């Protein structure tokens, strides 16, 4: 992306800001054959090898989930450490199986839906030439299964980490559109 400054005023219309994510759709990266972007760099379409591979996850509604991207610059080299955190309270055999199988995926693509309304795609980099690639370090899940103590909740926690060449792009695709693929 070329150096082009875009004006932003954070005090326009006294806008509110609601952090966190509430829902994520995931697919193994090897199922994605192509990604289409609009002129603003938003992802507008995926081309899949087989249908019905996107799965949706709704985690605990306790404001614990997040998707953070932290920039690192070493002179001309810049990367972003990208980390999502999803928590599912209540340990069940289904959740254990889900977490264990997710750990076997070496290249995830995740659409994190923010409480603010935007949907951000982890696992895909938009390249300077206009093409795309999977992130420099592909997105992988690290699950934890915690019993906690009698004072707390037992739970499955999923951390999805990746390293991107640039910030994750937004997508204009709704949940229904993604799940229709």
Partner 1 sequence: MGTPLNKRAKGNLGSYSVINVNKRKSLITLVNGTPVNLLGTDIESFVPATSKKPASPRIIRGATQEDLKILYEQKHSLITLTTPDETDREEIRDSQQEDTTLSNQQDPV
Q: Which residues, at least 6 apart from 37, have a Cβ–Cβ distance to it below 8 Å?
A: 43, 44, 126, 130, 132, 169
- Provide the 10 A C-beta neighbour count for residue 100: 12
Check residue 117 and report its DSSP letter.
Answer: S
Query: With respect to partner 1, which residue has the nearer C-beta, 47 or 116?
Result: 47
Least separation in angstroms between residue 7's CB and partner 1 is 27
Contact 87, 62 (CB under 8 A): yes
Q: Tokens in use for 137?
A: 């370090």
CB of 45 to partner 1, least distance (A): 5
Nearer to partner 1 by Cβ, of 117 and 129: the residue is 129
Instruction: Report, in Å, the least distance between residue 122 CB and partner 1.
Output: 20
Interface residue list for partner 1 (CB under 8 A): 33-34, 36, 38, 44-52, 131, 173, 177, 180-181
**Smaller CB distance to partner 1: residue 48 or 145?**
48
Q: Which is nearer to partner 1, 22 or 37 (CB)?
A: 37
Cβ contacts of residue 173 below 8 Å, gap of 6+?
43, 44, 45, 46, 111, 119
Query: Minimum CB separation from partner 1 for residue 69, in Å?
Result: 26
């Amino acid at each position: 992306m070329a150096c082009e400054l875009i004006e932003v005023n954070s005090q326009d219309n006294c806008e509110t800001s609601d952090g966190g994510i509430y829902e994520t759709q995931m697919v193994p990266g090897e199922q994605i054959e192509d990604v289409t972007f609009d002129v603003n760099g938003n992802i507008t379409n995926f081309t899949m090898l087989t249908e019905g591979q996107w799965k949706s996850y709704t985690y605990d509604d306790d404001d614990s989930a997040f998707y953070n991207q932290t920039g690192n610059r070493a002179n001309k080299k810049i990367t972003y450490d990208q980390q999502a955190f999803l928590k599912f309270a209540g340990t069940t055999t289904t959740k254990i199986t889900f977490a264990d199988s997710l750990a076997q995926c070496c290249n995830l693509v995740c659409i994190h839906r923010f409480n603010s309304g935007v949907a951000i795609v982890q696992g895909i980099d938009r390249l300077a030439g206009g093409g795309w690639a999977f992130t420099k370090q592909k997105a992988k899940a690290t699950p934890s299964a915690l019993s906690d103590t009698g004072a707390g909740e037992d739970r499955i926690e999923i951390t999805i980490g990746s390293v991107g060449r640039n910030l994750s792009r937004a997508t204009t695709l709704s949940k229904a559109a993604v799940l229709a693929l």
